[in-house]
Homo-oligomer: A and B are copies of this chain.
Amino acid sequence: MKPVKVGLLGLGTVGTGVVRIVEAHQEDLQGQVGSPITIEKVLVQNKSKSRNISISSDKLTEDPWEVIRHPEIDVIVEVMGGIGQTKEYILEALSLGKHVVTANKDLMALHGPEILAKAKEHSCDVLYEASVAGGIPIIRTLVEGFSSDRITKIMGIVNGTTNYILTKMSQEGAAYADVLKEAQALGYAEADPTSDVEGLDAARKMTILATLGFHTNVNLEDVSAEGISSVSKDDILYAKRLGYELKLLGIAERQDDLISISVQPTMVKHSHPIASVNGVFNAVYVYGEAVGETMFYGAGAGELPTATSIVADLVAVVKNLKLGVNGKHSGIAFKETRLKTDEQISSKYFLLLHVADRAGVLARITQVFADAEVSLESVLQQPNPTNPEAEIIIITHDASKAAIQKVLGTFDSLDVVHKVKSVYRVEG
């Protein structure tokens, strides 16, 4: 049987994992697709660098075009990352009729529609399971498993770095800056952690999930993103006391044909299954009208989990190749994207206020909520241990984002409210 030949762009952690899995599971893979799968050419930055896998040196090249334009290569696996140059490589590969498997969330979040259109034009597959939540087959699940359902909500812990930090802060009562330093030392956070801790990485992944779940092209700028860098250990302590865990959640919602997508630190009720997803693990909670609650849990990153998803995509491409049906399975968007306004986005909110400790203050504050037509689920007033003022914790019923912004605007000019210490969305 003629082997299927693969060109690999990048031989870092994930690329090495792909080579390892393809070699170690060759027999199983052949059993599934009926022919061998071989890695034919690999793009590396430096051919002479020593590596901890054995790969014949004539398979390595520093010239990307040697891989992309290789006449015998059927499938390009892209694990080099990056956006501008990488997009050019992928578009060229597609125009030469080569199928593409990529783990590149940035590329798919920013240029997904353009790449998928090019793929369709040349009857090529572009699969990208590994771009979201590493080893969890969530894209396949959204596209195929829930094909008959109407998904109305997707909530994801899709960034392992921030979940590790929040878990440590919660379990050890540690401060954000200390845990971040520790995470950097362990390699769980990058030297410049901005993309992770400010929620940008999660926003890119939610762009991909919402596009697939809602059958509509979501743009990265449609996602409102807020990170965890201003979360304090007190916030987490209060959350726990009230029966919540603080998690960085990506939330995509659909009501009729209006959608909203956001990433923000969120108070999640302990009883909700996503509240107990800890450490570097990822989880995606999906609510479908028919199926109800489901959740998918697993490793969000790492050499082998990510490589597993890539090789599963590779198997899918090869099956399609054998059947001659490439380029027909993509989840192309068929609905217009219509975003909710701030008046239409609704959730519960948690607010922690520092206020003047004198008679009548609570009445004035609750009147502000009443004026904005926000009703309250619970109110807790207590002395502030560190200041001669009171703390008020409020959890609202469902309220629009616009109404909460109106409340916060009024607090700005209210002398009895010294500080709005924290505002969090509440789920579960």
Contacts and interface: CB of A to CB of B under 8 A. Distances in A.
Interface stretch (A80-88, A140-148, A402-410): A140-148
B316 A290 contact: no
A116 to B, nearest CB: 15
B141 A25 contact: no
A305 to B, nearest CB: 5
Contacts of A304: 289-292
A96 interface: no
Interface of A: 17, 21, 24-25, 28-29, 31-32, 129, 135-137, 140-141, 144-150, 215, 273, 276, 281, 288-299, 302, 304-305, 307-312, 314-316, 319, 323, 325, 328-329, 334-335
7 contacts: A31-B215, A31-B334, A31-B335, A136-B294, A290-B304, A291-B309, A294-B298
Nearest to A277: B273
A152 to B, nearest CB: 12
A294 B299 contact: yes
A29 B335 CA distance: 13
Q: Quickly give the copy total for this chain.
A: 2
A204 B391 CA distance: 57
A215 B28 contact: yes
A292 to B, nearest CB: 5
Contact of A148 (B29, B148, B297, B328): B29
A180 to B, nearest CB: 24
A262 B90 CA distance: 47
Contacts of A292: 135, 298-299, 302, 304-305
Contact of A305 (B31, B290, B297, B309): B290
> Quick one: which of A135, A136, A148, A307 has the most chain B CB within 10 A?
A148
Contacts of A335: 31
A291 B299 contact: yes
Contacts of A148: 21, 25, 28-29, 308, 310-312, 314-315
A310 to B, nearest CB: 8
A189 to B, nearest CB: 20
Contacts of A290: 17, 21, 135, 304-305, 307-308
- Complex A-B, nearest 5 residue pairs according to Cβ-Cβ distance, in ascending order: A137-B145, A148-B311, A294-B298, A135-B291, A290-B304
A150 B28 contact: yes
Given A140-B145, A291-B298, 8 more contacts: A28-B215, A31-B215, A31-B335, A140-B144, A144-B316, A147-B312, A296-B297, A325-B325
